[in-house]
Amino acid sequence: MKRRILAYFMRMLTAAVALTTVLMTLVTYGMFERRMIEDLSVDAQVLHPLLDSSDAGRVMDELNGALRVTIIGEDGVVRYDNCSDASRMDNHLNRPEVAQALKTGEGSDVRDSQTMDTSTFYYATRLEDGSVLRVAKEASSIFSIYLNALPLILLVMAMMIAVSFFAAHLLTDRLVDPIRRLTADMDGEHSAASYPELQPFMRTIRSQHEEILKSADMRVEFTANVSHELKTPLTSISGYAELIESGMAQGEQAQRFAGEIHKSANRLLTLINDIIKLSQMDAPEHRIEREVVDLGQIAEGTVNQLRISAEKMNVTLTTDVKPGLVSADKGMMEELIYNLCDNAIRYNVRGGSVRVEVRPVRERVLLVVQDTGIGIGREHQERVFERFYRVDKSRSKATGGTGLGLAIVKHIAAQHDANITMESEPGSGTTITVSFERVTR
């Protein structure tokens, strides 16, 4: 990060210095050029009256080459030059300043020398007799000015680089410091006092951190609960087996104890099955295999598996299902419907009833499981979806409950983006509705 900021700074500063140097020189040199031409025009004005006077020769000597003076005829032939032999000079008709002077009365031009290190400034003015008076001066070219300024420019750049090093260092520290503080102290309050651009990031990190902590807590709690739940049936298995082993239970009693062992073993199996289901669904790589299924058809099939246990409990089981297509994992749908109906039967009263309904409503397909059972008090309604939460532990256990059924239901619904609503009144019954997104084939 520091290196990137530094590189960025350097690029920016180098560009800024280079651009400023070029622009400044261009502007200054432009001004200098105009000044030179103006000066030359004044020189020409001063020289002009002297040309025909007797002083002309002395003036030229005094100039001593500092100012080049040339007189060119209308035809371009050089008539006089104070620096070279006029007769050997070529026709000047094509020189821009001369051509311009012949045309408009005055003209100027700047030409670089072959070595590029000097420039010659020319100013020409037309005289009354039609000939042209041209004055010229040499000066450093813009190129050589750059060349001369190069050490200075390099020095400035070096200073800029030093400044960027310092600034990049400072800036990176400022940028990174709140993050460093957050890392060191996730729950601390002072890291909130960083700059506003970082706030969303801080919030996300902190809430993720909280989530991780929460889920770790939940896992610890779940493990503790599981161990506890497994312990009870195992203790009774061990106890009954010991009694049989020692010969203390015999005949009919031994048979009864074996039955208890059998029951506890079955309990363990259902419990472990539920735990496996939940942990499979919890696994990050778990993917549900969706297909378009008819929830009505699945409900019908699942309800039929429960007819015997409904009869045993003396509960009437009725269905009212219409076709309702949803995109879902078929096995999970069976599991969800089974758990809801199983509860509706187990927490019912003798002579009560359970009604299972599937019905498409606009864009949704509703699964409604309604019972006339014992109901759930308001204070328990949220919590019954938690793992191992039971309102009446002994009733749950007596009917083969694990305390995981509704947790599995909630999990499956969440993975299918389905909503669960519960209405319940202790003593009159419970209605649980799961709403799925409807699909059309």
User: Under the rule (CB under 6 A), what is the footprint of ligand ADP?
Assistant: 339, 343-344, 347, 371, 373-376, 384, 389-392, 396, 401-407, 430
Nearer to ligand ADP, 6 or 336 (CB): 336
| Nearest by Cα to 122 from 103, 135, 140 | 135
Shortest distance (Å) from residue 191 CB to ligand ADP: 40
Round to whole Å and give the CA distance between 14 and 102. 47
Nearer to ligand ADP, 30 or 427 (CB): 427
Vertex 180 angle, CA 177 and 183, to 5°: 150
Nearer to ligand ADP, 178 or 375 (CB): 375
Round to whole Å and give the CA distance between 63 and 263. 129
Nearer to ligand ADP, 120 or 270 (CB): 270
Round to whole Å and give the CA distance between 314 and 203. 55
| Nearest by Cα to 136 from 243, 39, 13 | 39
Q: Which amino acid is at 187?
A: D
Q: What is residue 362's DSSP assignment?
A: T
Nearer to ligand ADP, 80 or 389 (CB): 389
Shortest distance (Å) from residue 385 CB to ligand ADP: 7
Residues 6+ apart with CB under 8 A from 260: 236, 240
| Nearest by Cα to 313 from 354, 363, 282, 272 | 354
Shortest distance (Å) from residue 384 CB to ligand ADP: 3
What sign for the dihedral angle of Cα 34, 40, 44, 50?
positive
Q: Which amino acid is at 268?
A: L
Nearer to ligand ADP, 100 or 430 (CB): 430
What's the token pair of residue 415? 């993975």
Shortest distance (Å) from residue 357 CB to ligand ADP: 15
Shortest distance (Å) from residue 437 CB to ligand ADP: 24
Strand-pairing partners, residue 358, are 321, 367
Round to whole Å and give the CA distance between 61 and 15. 50
Shortest distance (Å) from residue 226 CB to ligand ADP: 14
Shortest distance (Å) from residue 403 CB to ligand ADP: 4
Q: Please give the C-alpha separations between residue 298 and each of 109, 141, 322, 329, 338, in angstroms, as whole numbers.
A: 97, 93, 11, 11, 10
Nearer to ligand ADP, 183 or 280 (CB): 280
